[in-house]
Amino acid sequence: MSRTPRNLVGGAPSATYVLRFDGRELTAQAGQSIAAVLWGAGILAWRTTRQGGAPRGAFCGIGSCYDCLVTVNGRPNQRACLVPARPGDTVTTQEGTGRAEAEPGN
């Protein structure tokens, strides 16, 4: 048996649901952040920098650095490490500032 936090505390998975990331269906568990869902799916980069298009993902994990920005349901510049995943969310890779894909009124 592997030694994981869940095994150590005897926890069981809670309710699961689906969200979409760049058109791909991912399974999320209640209470997970978007970053946790992406990590769990093996996705480590979900933003590109304004200068040069370098890949970025989670860096600090506590909402201080802005490296983990994604577009969630058409709203750019959402910190994946802080935003809770919700059933039916549509999450997309953020290119640069994320403003090009922003819908009017968001």
At residue 4, the pLDDT reads 74
Spans in the chain with pLDDT lower than 50? 101-106
At residue 45, the pLDDT reads 92
Spatial distance between the Cα atoms of 91 and 22, rounded to a whole number of angstroms = 6
Domains and CATH numbers, the chain: 14-94 (3.10.20.440)
Q: Find, among 95, 104, 91, 77, the residue nearest to 18 by Cα.
A: 91
Residue 35 identity: A
